[in-house]
Structure 1
Amino acid sequence: MWRYFVGAGAALLLAVAGMFLFRGTAASRAELPAAPAAVAEAAEEEALPDEAPKASAKTREQKRFDRYDKDRNDAITREEYLLSRRKAFAKLDANGDGKLAFEEWAIKTTDKFGGADKDKSGALTRAEFLATAPKPRKAAPKCACPKPAAKAEQADEQE
C-alpha cells in the first residue's frame, strides 16, 4: 500500500516541477530588440513607389550588338564580328602556326582522358570514368544584401 502513496507523491512532485519549469521558460523568453530610431524614422519617411521598377529598354539583341561593336560607332565590321572567333582559335592553336591540328583541337579532352586514366592502361574503368564527370557549378547569389550585423553597425555609426 505504501508503494501507491510513494507513486502518487512522485507523480504530484513531477507535475509541480513541470509547471514551474514551463512558467520559468515562458517568462524568460527574450523579446526582439526595438528598431533603432534612425532606421524607424527612415522607414516611415520613404514611401513605396506605385509600381515596380522596370528593366532597361535595351533588348537582348541590342545588348548582343553592343558586345560586338567594340568601337561604338553603331556598325559592326568584319574584324569586330570575327574577333571572338579569333580569340577562341588562338587559345586552341597551341603551337601558333595558324593551323589547327586535330591534336590541338582535342587537347583538353586528351588531357582530361590522360589524367583520368590512373593505371595508364589506355582505357577507363567505371571508377576512372566517374572522375571525368563535370563539376556542378555554384549558383551565383541573386541578392547582394548587407548582413544584419552590417546594418546594425551602420546605424551605430549614424548615431
Structure 2
Amino acid sequence: MWRYLAGGMAALLMVAAGWLLFSSRATSDPVLPPPPPAPLRADTAGDEPAAPVPEATERTREEKRFDRYDKDRDSRITRDEYLVSRRKAFAKLDANGDGRLSFDEWAAKTTAKFAAADRDKSGVMDRAEFATTAVKRKAKPRCVCPQASADDGN
C-alpha cells in the first residue's frame, strides 16, 4: 500500500516541478505590433500639388457576382436566374434536345476521347494507346535569374 502512496506523491511532485519549470520559462513580455507606415509626402521641392491617386471602386467581389446572376437588376435573384448557367450546361450535353440526359449524352466527351485513343478500333486500349489520354499539362515557366559574374568580387 505504501508503494502506491509513494508513487502517487512522486507523480504529483513531478507534475508540480514540470509546471514550475514551464512557467518560469514563459515570457510575459507583450509582443508589440509593428509601427504604422509613414504617410507618403508630396514632393516639397516643387510648388505643384501632388496628383490625386485614383481610388478603386468599392464594389466587392460578392457584389459583382450577385450582379452577374441578377439579370433583371431588381436586386433579387430568382430561382430561374440562379439556374441559368446550369441550364446552359445541360443544354450543351443534351445532344438530341429531348430534355432528358442519357448516359451516352453525359459521357459523350469521354466516349469520343476513348474512340480517338483506340487507334486500331479493337474496343480496348493497350498501354501505348492509353498513354495518349493523359492530361496535357502546361510547363511551369523557369525562373530566369541573372547569373552572378566572377568580376563583381563576390
TM normalised by structure 2 equals: 0.51
Write out per-residue CA displacement over residues 25-79 of structure 1, whole angstroms, 9 at most, x where no aligned residue.
Answer: xxxxxxxxxxxxxxxxxxxxxx98687x664322222121111111222111111
Using the aligned pairs only, state the percent identity.
Answer: 64
Alignment of 1:108-123 (within 5 A): 108-123=109-124
Structure 1 stretches of at least 4 aligned residues deviating more than 4 Å after TM superposition? 47-51
Tell me how far 1:99 sits from its aligned partner: 0.6
Count of residue pairs brought into register by the alignment = 92
Aligned partners of 1:70, 1:136: CA distance in 2, in Å? 36
Write out per-residue CA displacement over residues 97-139 of structure 1, whole angstroms, 9 at most, x where no aligned residue.
Answer: 1111001000111011111110112222222122222333599
Q: Which residue of 2 aligns with 1:101?
A: 102
Q: What amino acid is aligned across from residue 90 of structure 1 in structure 2?
A: A
Question: Please, what is the CA RMSD of the aligned residues?
Answer: 2.7
The structure carrying a bigger helix percent of its residues is 1
Q: Which residue of 1 aligns with 2:135?
A: 134
Q: Which residue of 1 aligns with 2:76?
A: 75
Aligned partners of 1:78, 1:131: CA distance in 2, in Å? 42
Higher relative contact order (CA 8 A, sep 6+): 1
Alignment of 1:145-156 (within 5 A): none
Alignment of 1:1-159 (within 5 A): 55-136=56-137
SS class of match (1:110): helix
Aligned partners of 1:138, 1:83: CA distance in 2, in Å? 35
Q: What amino acid is aligned across from residue 65 of structure 2 in structure 1?
A: R
Note the residue ranges of structure 1 that are not aligned, 5 or more in a row.
1-46, 140-159
The verdict on how the C-alpha distance between 1:114 and 1:65 changes in structure 2, with shifts beyond 3 A counting, is: same
Q: Which range is displaced more, 64-73 or 82-91?
A: 64-73
Q: What amino acid is aligned across from residue 115 of structure 1 in structure 2?
A: A
